[in-house]
Amino acid sequence: MDGKIINIDPEILGGIPVFFDTRVPIKNLFDYLETGDSIETFLEDFDGVQKSQVLKILEMSQKLIESSTNILNENFA
C-alpha cells in the first residue's frame, strides 16, 4: 500500500468510498462502531482492511469534524 487510504472509483461499488485495495465500504467501519463492535471485530470480519487504514480514517474524520465547526454548529445546534 502506497499510503492511499480511500478509493473512489465508479467501477467499484458504483463509486462508494471504499478502503483502498479492497471492496469494503468505509461506511461499514462506522456501522460497526455505531453498534458497539470493536475495531478488532471489524478487522476480523474484513481481513483485507489494515488496522493502519482504520486508524487513518478515524484520524481523518476527527480532523474533518474539527475543521468543520461552523458547519456543524449551523446544522446540529
Residue 14: CATH number of its domain? 1.10.10.10
Averaged pLDDT of the chain: 90
59 in any annotated domain: yes
Q: Which domain holds residue 48?
A: 6-76
Burial of 56 per CB tally in 10 Å (0-12, 13-18, 19+): middle
Q: How many domains does the chain have?
A: 1
Please state, in angstroms and as integers, the Cα–Cα distance from residue 47 to each residue in 42, 66, 75, following that order: 8, 30, 36
What integer is the mean pLDDT of 11-40?
Answer: 96
The pLDDT of residue 1 is: 46
Q: What is the pLDDT confidence band of residue 65, given thresholds at 50, 70 and 90? A: confident
| pTM greater than 0.85 | no
57 in any annotated domain: yes
1 in any annotated domain: no
